[in-house]
Amino acid sequence: MKNLSGLMKQASQMQAKMQEMQAKVEAMVIEGQSGAGMVRVSLSGAGVLKSVAIDPKLADPAEMEMLQDLLVAAHADAKRKLDTAMQAEMAQVTGGLQLPPGMKLPF
């Protein structure tokens, strides 16, 4: 029965660490950029687009297609950085424990 009690205590500690990690990640703001910094976007830790900054030189109507492509690329850059930050936070909480493919915490 001692093992079960110890296991429950560990699970409770892991849950507290997961909640702390989630709060930390949600408070993050990650910036992505494209076009050598001419387009920048910021995402919240939840992946919500918070802001967009566009170099005024790109406001040429003839360049709208390029601007749209750069916005998508900047968002993808920020999302990739957010995913990396989340994985780093998760590794700290799980102590490097590798989860099976497709399994994400919290459940």
Work out the average pLDDT over 11-24: 83
Secondary structure class of 41 (helix, strand, coil): strand
Per-residue confidence (pLDDT) for residue 107, from 0 to 100 = 44
Q: Over pLDDT 90: what percentage of the chain?
A: 8
CA distance 57 to 47: 28
Q: How many domains does the chain have?
A: 1
More reliable by pLDDT, 98 or 42: 42
Dist CA 40 CA 55 (whole Å): 9
Q: Which residue has the higher pLDDT, 11 or 104?
A: 11
Domain of residue 61 covers: 28-91
pLDDT at 106 over 80: no
pLDDT for position 33: 92
35 part of a folded domain: yes
Task: Please answer whether residues 74 and 34 qualify as being in contact, where contact means their C-beta atoms are separated by less than 8 angstroms.
Answer: yes
Query: Residue 53 maps to which CATH number?
Result: 3.30.1310.10
Q: Is 106 inside any structural domain? A: no
Mean pLDDT over the full length of the chain: 82
Q: Given CA atoms 72, 87, 31, 43 in this order, what sign does their dihedral have?
A: positive
